[in-house]
Every structure is written in structure tokens, then in C-alpha cells.
Amino acid sequence: LSAEQARMSADGEIVRLEGDVRLRRDPTATRPALHGYMPDLTINTEEETAFTESPVRFTQGGSWLKGTGMKLDNKVQTYVLQSQATGQFESRKARRQP
């Protein structure tokens, strides 16, 4: 994760990222890197969850997904867009062709 600014609660449990927040999950042997972009993100470090009510955009290879508002659960690797979700997904078969 990266952002222009971050604030942390005194106990370190809540982290508020603001300004050009970028999320990156490294690629694996079976999937390309995942990139997320949003203006702000609030993280609960103890629960390994995060949320925003702002617009979000994700890209992974030739696929993309965008919407407004998101809930993220790192333990189960889920990203739920709250509204106005649209996207385009590249099939794995199309990705393997030159």
C-alpha cells in the first residue's frame, strides 16, 4: 500500500490512508499482479479489513473493475464493491495466446 498521507490511531489498530492510495498484490504463477486505486482507505489492522466509500478501480492484467465504495477482507481475500460496479474481464485462455 502507498498513499500521500497516513494517520494511525494511538493503539495502531486503525490506519487512515488519504491521497492517491495505491494497493498492489504481487503476481503468482497463475495470475498477474492486482493493482487498486482510490482516494482514501481506512484499515483495521487487527481484523485485517479495510473500507472506503469513495470511487475505486482495480486492474489485473487486461481485466478491470471499478465502482463506488468497497469492503476488503484480507483474511479471505475478498473485495466487495458497494455500488455502481462495472468491469471487463479477460479470460485466462485469451491471456495465454501471444
Q: What is the pLDDT of residues 15-74, one digit of tens each?
A: 999 999 999 999 999 899 999 999 999 999 999 999 999 999 999 999 999 999 999 999
Best CA proximity match to 30, nearest among 98, 97, 92: 92
Pairing of strands 14-25, 5-8: antiparallel
Which grid cell sits at 45? Answer: 489492522
The structure's pTM equals: 0.85
pLDDT reported for residue 53: 98
